[in-house]
Amino acid sequence: MQARFIKKMSVFVLVFLLVIPAFAAHAATSAQATAISLNSLDPTAPVISYTTTHSSISLSWSAANAVNYDIYKSNTYVTTTSGTSYTLSATPSTSIEVKIVARNSTGQTASSTVWASTPGYSDSYTGTAYGNIQVGGTFKNTHATYSTTMYLTLYRVTSSGDQYVGSTSFSVGAGQTITGYYPIATSQPYGTYKVTFSSPFITASGVSFSTF
């Protein structure tokens, strides 16, 4: 009787010693797999959209499993943000490479790149004037290699619409900034006038009307 009891206990101990380690190994493997699963949610490559003006690129994007984003402009780091939109400064008639790198909480990354092209410079200024009218301001050629031309067109603003008065143009050397006044019309009645500016690369600031 005692011998049978000892034999049964031996079998039980043997089963215990074989089963428990296997169960423990399985549990550890499951836990490890769960940890890997939780930590391997790679960010997706950002889907980028944008709009441009002659002086800016407004970006927006979406990505899954990301907590922040690095923004690069022409391969140069700009900033890191947790948001999904950002506006970059730009110059007229330029094609700019923009890269956004999405990063998750464990440092894994995914990136996307787009080329954004800005339009040429176009703007207008409205004010009162009369007589011999000239337009003044500061004019900057944003192109470092080529001289380029600024085109000015003057309109008289009336209740029936803008009426063409005159036009002129001038050039600015590569990378230069100039300040001056440019005659555009003579013997005009007192009233409200609008001048439009157009150039591939030249920008205008500090615009005003005066007489000559």
Query: For the segment 112-153, what is each residue's pLDDT rounded down to a tens digit?
Result: 999 999 999 999 999 999 999 999 999 999 999 999 999 999
Tell me, which fold does domain 47-117 have in CATH?
Immunoglobulin-like (2.60.40)
Q: How far apart are CA 188 and CA 157, in angstroms?
A: 12
| pLDDT tens for each residue of 159-172 | 999 999 999 999 99
Residues of the chain with CATH 2.60.40.10: 47-117
| pLDDT tens for each residue of 74-118 | 999 999 999 999 999 999 999 999 999 999 999 999 999 999 999
Residues of the chain with CATH 2.60.120.820: 121-211
Q: How far apart are CA 205 and CA 141, in angstroms?
A: 12
| Residue range 121-211 in CATH 2.60.120.820 | yes
Map residue 36 onto helix, strand or coil: helix
Burial 32-50 (b: 16+ CB within 10 A, else e): eeeeeeeeeeebebbebeb
Map residue 175 onto helix, strand or coil: coil
CB atoms within 10 A of CB 196: 16
